């Protein structure tokens, strides 16, 4: 019988450790490590983000794969996990909101609330991963994925520490290099935000 292997991962930056540690040596956040199962008996050998299978189950490789398809780095990576990805169609991603987020000390000290603009940014990062995967390219230092427009943004409920943001982004259309999406964010199956977004990949 195969032995279950476990490891500890920083929920802020994805750093992996073989044992629990109080302070992350990568992002310097405290008490962000959680235990994850990294291999189980009879696990599938299918690659992450497979075109034929949109389900993703290998968490340790996920954060590395996410970082490969995002130009962002700490403290601005707002995607922790991909739940589902269908090329040229849609993506469902997760952002785990913790009290260690760098924006909470100032927004607000007496009542921490995730800024709405960062919820929209998390949607945009999910959209970027979907687009890069659909195009089968990786971000480079010679290009930037810009917002081209944001319409019909609505915030329904505040997002607080301990919430898990479930981000769903669907491709509406692609025209002359401009990608248009419809995006929603839910917490515990309740809609907290929605938006229509346009993004474009431009050389710098």
69, 72, 107, 186: the catalytic one is: 107
Q: What DSSP assignment string belongs to 178-198?
A: EEEEEEEEEETTEEEEEEEEE
Q: What is the Cα–Cα distance from 122 to 183, expressed in whole angstroms?
A: 10
SS3 of residue 4 by DSSP: coil
Reading the block at residue 163, the tokens are 């919430």
For residue 111, indicate whether it is catalytic. no
- Report the alpha-carbon distance of residue 96 to residue 119 in Å, rounded: 12
Looking at the DSSP bridge assignments, the partners of residue 149 are 198
* C-beta separation of 194 from 183 below 8 A: yes
Other CB atoms within 10 Å distance of the CB of residue 139: 17
Beta-strand relationship, 178-187 and 164-175: antiparallel
Q: Which residues are catalytic?
A: 107
């Amino acid at each position: 019988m195969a032995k279950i292997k476990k490891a500890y991962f920083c929920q802020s930056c994805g750093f992996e450790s073989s044992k629990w540690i109080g302070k992350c040596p990568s992002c310097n956040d405290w008490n962000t490590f959680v235990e994850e199962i990294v291999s189980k008996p009879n696990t599938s050998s299918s690659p992450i983000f497979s075109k034929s299978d949109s389900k993703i189950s290998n968490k340790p490789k996920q954060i590395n794969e996410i970082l490969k398809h995002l130009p962002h780095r700490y403290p601005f990576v707002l995607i922790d996990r991909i739940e589902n990805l269908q090329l040229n169609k849609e993506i469902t991603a997760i952002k785990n909101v913790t009290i260690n987020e760098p924006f909470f000390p100032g927004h607000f000290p007496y009542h921490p609330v995730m800024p709405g603009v960062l919820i929209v940014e998390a949607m945009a990062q999910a959209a970027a991963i979907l687009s890069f995967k659909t195009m089968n390219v990786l971000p480079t230092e010679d290009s930037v994925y810009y917002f081209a427009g944001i319409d019909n943004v609505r915030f329904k409920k505040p997002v607080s520490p301990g919430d898990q943001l479930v981000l769903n982004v669907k491709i509406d259309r692609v025209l002359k290099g401009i990608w248009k999406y419809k995006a929603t964010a839910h917490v515990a199956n309740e809609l907290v935000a929605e938006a229509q977004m346009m993004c474009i990949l431009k050389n710098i």
